[in-house]
Amino acid sequence: MPMPKKRHSNVRQGKRRASNYTLSAASTSRCSACGSPILPHHACPTCGNYKGRQAIKIKAEKKKGKKEQE
């Protein structure tokens, strides 16, 4: 079995292995209720639906303004 004549540095080793660790973008799907993009197997962050049912309660956001109108 052939033996290497010299040791390869850690940088060269990392360059060689870099192609194995490339990241891909996370896959997303659309919510069936509101149509916003969601991660697979997660409840929708905008409406709270998961698999066609209400899984979590979403609080209504308060609008920020100067002062409440009289």
* pLDDT tier at 52, thresholds 50, 70, 90: confident
* pLDDT tier at 69, thresholds 50, 70, 90: low
Between CA 44 and CA 48, with CA 47 as vertex, the angle to 5 degrees is 55
Question: Where is pLDDT greater, at 18 or 62?
Answer: 18
Domain locations in the chain as residue ranges: 27-59
Q: How far apart are CA 9 and CA 15, in angstroms?
A: 10
pLDDT one-digit tens code per residue, 9-44: 999 999 989 888 888 888 999 998 899 999 999 999
pLDDT of residue 67: 67
Q: Mean pLDDT throughout 36-65?
A: 88
